[in-house]
Amino acid sequence: MLSIDLSQEIMELKKKRNAVILAHSYERPEVQDVADFVGDSLGLSRVAANTSADIIVFAGVHFMAETAAILNPKKTVLIPDLDAGCSLADTISAKDVQEWRDENPNGQVVAYVNTSAEVKALADVCVTSANAVAVVQSLDATRPIFFLPDMFLGAHVERVTGIKMHVWMGECHVHGGIGDKEIRETLEAHPDAEFLIHPECSCGSSCLYLKPDAKMLSTEGMVTYAKASDRTEFVIATEVGIIHRLNKMAPGKKFLPVKESAICQYMKMITLEKIYDSLVEDKYVVSVDEEIARAALGAIEAMISIG
């Protein structure tokens, strides 16, 4: 079956089943193109919280589908491939968080959305890269703050807010692999380009040293900025799936990935064929234990309400 035929089949199935497809900006181009909404974790969480669809097909990784299931306990949430996980989420467990809470009974736990439901259940508030700074600024800085699990995002938040936190030493294997060398070479080859960098990237403050006017932005922030900018050439430091969305949303502009091999294999596990099977056979239903979901819901809703 040709992909164009498969895409049409998916469109018809969506209508028949009152389903909505949510896709992250790192997904394959053809997957983004059949989605009803494409965006970052925060934007997709907001859509999931308000959808009238009976079925949510999440073209993303497992923690995203879990979040949608927590926000929609009476709806069917599907993920087309159960193995679509997250290397960053795997760096921390609920046991790790509970140990910190036991040692800091007056502490506040800020959990990046890239975490399991069990970790979210122990958090005071969740964040995404789009609103992490705003969330931390809203907290009581006189009390200990545990920021988890991305150390580079945590360092960025500390740098911007001036608030010292306990930061977990986790990283995304894709963003952690984007370093000074690739950035320096790309910037030297395109000196007039604007530089947009995701705060999960490993170079941190050294990237800002290489190009002081660099913009540290979430994936959705990159799209919004590129659309509004008068500039026509951009160097992009994040997972390369975002380039397809940037090209669609800001046509006529040039987007240059810092590292062509910055590919999340987990995101790319989702294919049109798997989305089709998911809609036909309800593959695979994502459910969260009721007690864990109840405990995590407050932290997720707090994330959605800020920034």
Q: Is the dihedral of CA 125, 239, 62, 168 positive or negative?
A: negative
Binding residues: 24, 41, 86, 112-114, 129, 172, 198-200, 219, 264
Binding residues for [4Fe-4S] cluster: 86, 172, 264
Judged by phi (left if over 0) then psi (alpha if -120 to 50, else beta), residue 166 lies in beta
The number of C-alpha atoms within 13 Å of 59 and in the hemisphere containing its C-beta is 32
Beta bridge pairs of residue 21: 57
Spatial CB neighbours of 15, under 8 Å, sequence gap ≥ 6? none
Long-range CB contacts for residues 251-259, cutoff 8 Å, separation at least 24 = 253/226, 254/193, 255/226, 256/186, 256/190, 256/193, 258/178, 258/182, 258/183, 258/186, 259/177, 259/178, 259/182
Binding residues for iminosuccinate: 24, 41, 112-114, 129, 198-200, 219
